[in-house]
């Protein structure tokens, strides 16, 4: 089983990288781009059999190490392979 | 006075801290490897030095914060022991939950490496006898020194006198120009500037921090 963790800065944390990418896109003519937020993706290859167990464990991993709740929020996606 | 300096893989200010604490501040210094589970006995101060622990993987300080030695550091801090984190050490203390807030990439995304002017933001044991409003000059060298904290927590820091220094000029985009803080108990301190790099002939302002720590320890004994 594969779990994909998407991590982003919370809305309240300024993301200068995202703002810079947004202004470059606008300069290239993509005038409808309002905002860009940069984040990171972590793929975990797991040995779990049950999706619920995997979800629980991944949430614990996020709390303990993968995510800093002071500045980041996250979302977990379970993939078959 | 006995200090312990912890070395993580990628720490690079550990020798400077050791040198400065021994030669300029008169501490007896013991080096501690991050894989140890116990601290040496009778330490008066623990220093988490600057550097790039674990190559800044995941988030600065995130991996070091879960190193084996950190359980002992937390216990030491909970009992009221003095813990100082400088630069990467500050990032590690925030990641470990010993200090509030977090440190992220500078707003400019550039690495800032120069002397900066700091204003003492509260009359705090870590900077005694200097009073609120006095200025110090200390070197900084960081790419991820933008201190972020939610407004209610920031207000609490302010009210409880936990803000130690503010940059005179906001060099990295930190909330309220914060350069150093303490925990509520005032026994854990984190700062981005490097006192160990300003404790000799070139500059004495770092020495003022070591002297303040010496004064805290004398008051305790």
**What's the token pair of residue B87?**
């630069």
Q: Is B72 on the interface with A (CB under 8 A)?
A: no
Q: Which residues of B are catalytic?
A: 87, 194, 196
Q: What is the CATH number of the domain that holds B191?
A: 3.40.50.880
Q: What value does the mean pLDDT of chain B take? A: 96
pLDDT for position B13: 97
Residues in chain A within 8 Å Cβ distance of B174:
none
Mean pLDDT value across residues B144-164: 97
| Cα three-residue angle B49-B54-B58, rounded to 5 degrees | 115
**Complex ipTM over 0.85:** yes
Per-residue burial over B75-112, b if 16 or more Cβ lie within 10 Å, else e, is ebbeeebbbbbbbbbbbbbbbbebbbbbbbbbbeeeeb
The rounded distance, in Å, linking the Cα atoms of B176 and B179 is 9
Answer for the pair B179, B133: CB distance below 8 angstroms, yes or no. no
**pLDDT tens, B73-112?**
999 999 999 999 999 999 999 999 999 999 999 999 999 9
- Give the minimum alpha-carbon distance from A55 to chain B in angstroms, rounded to a whole number: 21
- Give the minimum alpha-carbon distance from B60 to chain A in angstroms, rounded to a whole number: 11
Q: Is B105 on the interface with A (CB under 8 A)?
A: yes
| Cα three-residue angle B14-B179-B57, rounded to 5 degrees | 55
Interchain pair A64, B66: CB under 8 A = yes
Interfacial residues of A (vs B; Cβ cutoff 8 Å): 9, 12-14, 16-17, 20, 64-66, 68, 70-71
Among A23, A70, A73, the strongest candidate for a mutation testing the B interface, having the largest count of B CBs within 10 A, is A70
Q: Which domain holds residue B210?
A: 2-220
Mean pLDDT value across residues B24-31: 94
Predicted confidence (pLDDT) at residue B203 exceeds the cutoff of 80 = no
Number of domains in chain B: 1
The rounded distance, in Å, linking the Cα atoms of B182 and B216 is 14
Mean pLDDT value across residues B60-68: 97
Interchain pair A17, B109: CB under 8 A = yes
Q: Which residue of A has its CA nearest to B65?
A: A65
Domains in chain A with CATH codes:
2-79 (3.30.1280.10)
The rounded distance, in Å, linking the Cα atoms of B126 and B215 is 9
């Amino acid at each position: 089983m594969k779990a994909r963790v998407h991590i982003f800065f919370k809305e309240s944390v300024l993301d200068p990288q995202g703002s810079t990418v947004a202004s470059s896109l606008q300069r290239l003519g993509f005038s409808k781009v309002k905002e860009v937020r940069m984040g990171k993706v972590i793929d975990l290859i797991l040995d779990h059999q049950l999706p619920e167990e995997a979800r629980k464990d991944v949430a614990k991993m996020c709390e303990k190490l993968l995510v800093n709740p002071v500045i980041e929020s996250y979302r977990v996606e379970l993939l078959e392979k | 006075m006995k200090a312990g300096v912890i070395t993580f893989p990628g720490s690079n200010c550990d020798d400077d801290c050791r040198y400065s604490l021994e030669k300029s501040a008169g501490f007896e210094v013991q080096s501690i490897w991050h894989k140890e589970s116990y601290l040496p006995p009778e330490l008066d101060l623990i220093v988490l030095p600057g550097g790039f622990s674990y190559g800044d993987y995941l988030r600065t300080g995130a991996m070091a914060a879960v190193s084996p030695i950190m359980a002992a550091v937390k216990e030491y801090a909970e009992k009221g022991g003095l813990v100082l984190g400088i630069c990467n050490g500050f990032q590690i203390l925030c990641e470990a939950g010993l200090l509030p807030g977090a440190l992220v990439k500078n707003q400019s995304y550039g690495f800032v490496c120069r002397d900066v002017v700091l204003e003492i933001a509260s009359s705090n044991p870590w900077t005694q006898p200097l009073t609120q409003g006095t200025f110090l000059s200390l070197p900084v060298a960081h790419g991820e020194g933008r201190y972020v904290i939610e407004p209610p927590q920031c207000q609490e820091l302010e009210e409880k006198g936990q803000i130690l220094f503010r940059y005179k000029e906001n060099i990295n985009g930190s909330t309220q120009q914060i350069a150093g803080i303490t925990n509520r108990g005032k026994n854990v301190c984190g700062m981005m500037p490097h006192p160990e790099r300003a404790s000799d002939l070139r500059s004495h302002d770092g020495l003022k921090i070591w002297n303040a720590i010496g004064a805290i320890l004398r008051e305790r004994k």
